[in-house]
Amino acid sequence: MTQTEFLNIVMPFKDKVYRLAKRLLVSTEEAEDATQEVLLKLWNNKSKIHEYKNVEAFSMTMTKNFCYDKLKSKQAQNLKIVHSNYEEKNTPLQKQVELNDSVSWVGKIIEELPEQQRMIIQLRDIEAYDYDEIAKMLNMNNTAVRVTLSRARKTIREKLIKTHNYGFR
Amino acid sequence: MVLDNIEKLLEKYENGETTLKEEAQLKNYFSQKIVAPHLEMYKPMFQYFLGNQQEQFTKDLPLKPKKRFNYKWLSVAAVAVLMIGFYFTTSIIDNNCNDLGTYCEPEEALEEVSKQLAMISNHFNKGAQAVGYLNEVDKGTATLGYLNEIENTTKIIFKK
């Protein structure tokens, strides 16, 4: 398989991998590293890539596992992830989005959710995956995904109402 | 009517029962500038979701074909090293043959050998000359042999 063929396969979902990694690891740098790592792993196993039924789902699962490992090793070292995204190389659009204070609040609220809920919110509400796909990626069953998602959405809504009221009253 | 529909969708949404299409509808509705005031707090959430979709992975991928170390080449390298080793050690012996007390040139060696052999034969001849006197001794003993004859005759004489 040549590089261009590989890139054609990977290109459509590399951003999704990155966003999922960022959702879990929070730090931009770490998410970039994780994405690179995952894609390089795919590249190194490129001979097997045709055996995978769904490369995208497979990569998402890989990303999830990779990030979990990262988080676990961080906890084992008793280090807190300090996400100091010093360098601001954000796209203008993101800046524009972050200028909006209440929108950035949503990001903070999601950050406070448990990892699994965060992932499912990411996969469903941002990447708009099918329930079945999510279930496959996360190795869960369909209803468990729905229950977790509903729980996450309710938490976000409650917290939003709180901050909303706080802001306006 | 639309608002009613949105409220219903929101409820379904919170229970995780909406389809992707319905969620797209919600996102669409909340990306409008003006939203019903009592639904205002949902706006940032859907905006956040939409905004986050745009984030991209910009880092380069260093996609070099990974070279795996081939152990065949290790043996080739080992053989090469051995060959070079042999070549140099033999050439070192060639260069230093004078130190070992031998001759490098065969002609030189032949000359030296014949010189040595000539010397040996010279001395040998001297020795052989000295041995030549032994012949005189033999002669002497031979003449002494006559004495035996004399003894024999005297014995005969005394017996009788």
Chain B residues within an 8 Å CB radius of A130: 20
Task: Give the per-residue pLDDT at A169.
Answer: 43
Question: Does the A1-86 domain belong in CATH 1.10.10.10?
Answer: no
Q: Is A3 on the interface with B (CB under 8 A)?
A: yes
Q: Å from B76 to nearest chain A CA?
A: 27
Structure tokens at B46: 């859907």
Structure tokens at A157: 């809504």
Sequence-distant (6+) residues with CB within 8 A of B66 are A43, A44
Segments of chain A assigned to CATH 1.10.1740.10: 1-86
Q: Is B103 on the interface with A (CB under 8 A)?
A: no
Which residue shows structure tokens 């998410």?
A: A31
Average pLDDT of chain B is: 82
Q: Is B15 on the interface with A (CB under 8 A)?
A: yes
pLDDT at B141 over 70: yes
Task: Give the per-residue pLDDT at B117.
Answer: 93
Q: What is the ipTM of this complex?
A: 0.76
Q: What is the pLDDT of residues A152-164, one digit of tens each?
A: 999 988 888 887 6
Chain B residues within an 8 Å CB radius of A22: 55
Residues 21-80 of A with CB under 8 A from B: 22, 32, 35-36, 39-40, 43-44
Percent of chain A having pLDDT more than 70? Answer: 80
Query: Could you say which of B40, B43, B63 has the minimum Cβ distance to residue A43?
Result: B63
Percent of chain A having pLDDT more than 90? Answer: 11
Chain A residues within an 8 Å CB radius of B59: 32, 35-36
Q: What is the pLDDT of residues A115-134, one digit of tens each?
A: 889 999 999 988 888 888 88
Average pLDDT of chain A is: 81
Structure tokens at B74: 């290790």
pLDDT at A98 over 80: no
Q: Which CATH number is A90-169's, of 1.10.1060.10, 2.40.128.20, 1.10.10.10, 3.40.50.10860?
A: 1.10.10.10
One-letter amino acid at B62 equals P
pLDDT greater at residue B29 or residue B68: B29
* CA distances for A103 relative to A38, A108, A124, B25, angstroms: 30, 9, 18, 19
Sequence-distant (6+) residues with CB within 8 A of B141 are none
